[in-house]
Amino acid sequence: MSKLLACLALTVLLGGCASDTKPVDPIDALMQRYTGDVPGASLLVLKDGKPIVRRSYGLANLEDDDKTTPATNYRLASVSKQFTAAAILLLAENGRLNLDDPVRRWLPSLPETAATVTLRQLLTHTGGLVDYEDLIPPGTTEQVSDNDVLRLLSATPKTYFAPGTAYRYSNSGYVLLGLVVERASGISLPLYLQQRIFQPLHMDHTLLYERGGPDVADRAYGYSEENGSWTRTDQSVTSATRGDGGIYSSIDDLAKWDAALYDDRLLSDASRKLAFSPHVKVTGEPYEASYGYGWRITGDTVWHSGESIGFRNVIVRWPQRHLTVILLSNRNDPEPYRTALAIAQPYLQ
């Protein structure tokens, strides 16, 4: 990578470039905020299926001084949605459900106002269901479960819009999709993901975390910067829901996931086309995009970010170029999408 390209990447992200003659690794420069005794990050750049950049920065656990590694497992937050969507697609392939099923076929306690909401609309955030975060009673300290979300939505006849008429990003919809996976498969969501996605792809250290379930190996804990210092903010009231954001994984395991998205080792060609097709225009978000099933589509990229208390993640894929950038971090800031784009630029020249 030339120094000129390095400067261009730095200018895009940081607004400048070092003027001294000492060689500056452009990727390390872009990742400098994650370096040192601070919450860190793991970065993977894949080209033609091979890792051309595989690095980790900072700490996974500040209290124990545990350094991050490529095997460190981060809470994926909304990057988890692509796995929930894949589970639904697998069940559809196997005839266990239909994407046009009304969600009330599987979750009949939902109100009559949700009668025409389909699984397909939940996948594309066009169901119009109310955000469960806005229904949690003030003062709640216990973590909200998926079944709690179902109860809250079942008691709420309000909707944002008629199903299928608009887009509004919905964690509620993906929580319900996770519950549908359980109803349609007859087994728990963590077990279904393990048996049908993680094990076949040899993602041996990836899991959907539940309190009381298996521990997360090589776990990164989340932190937020407050008044110039880092405070552990690993869990919140909404950190126990599953289908919308509960998976833990590493860059090494996500490399196997990325590889599976190029062929039919997991999903059929038809299912992958559905996942990566622009079904609806994204609105109310800061990025120009359309939405597939668990993926945003912008130009020639398919991508998704993930944000929860103490974690900021992104996976950006250029399928036509066989290029992928994955950046996982255990901190509330910075937002990693622009960093990932800047890291990718020299490989797109």
pLDDT at residue 335, as a whole number: 95
130 and 250 belong to one structural domain: yes
pLDDT at residue 5, as a whole number: 47
Q: Which helix (H) or strand (E) holds 176?
A: helix 171-185
263 and 145 belong to one structural domain: yes
pLDDT digits (tens, 9 = 90+) for 145-170: 999 999 999 999 999 999 999 999 99
Tokens of 314: 């992104």
129 and 276 belong to one structural domain: yes
18 and 155 belong to one structural domain: no
Structure confidence at residue 1 as a pLDDT band (50, 70, 90): very low
Structure confidence at residue 220 as a pLDDT band (50, 70, 90): very high
206 and 306 belong to one structural domain: yes
121 and 229 belong to one structural domain: yes
Query: What is the rounded distance in angstroms from the CA atom of residue 53 to the CA atom of residue 322?
Result: 14
Query: What is the rounded distance in angstroms from the CA atom of residue 24 to the CA atom of residue 18?
Result: 8
From first CA to last CA, the distance across the chain in angstroms is 10
**What's the pTM?**
0.93
323 and 194 belong to one structural domain: yes
User: Tokens 């993977």 correspond to what residue?
Assistant: 44
Considering all CA atoms of the chain, what is the largest pairwise distance in Å, rounded to the nearest integer?
68
Domain count for the chain: 2
Q: From the CB of residue 30, how many other CB atoms can be counted at a distance below 10 Å? A: 22
Structure confidence at residue 345 as a pLDDT band (50, 70, 90): very high
Tokens of 330: 């255990």
Helix axis angle, 171-185 to 81-93, nearest 10°? 40
Which domain, by its residues, includes 171?
31-348
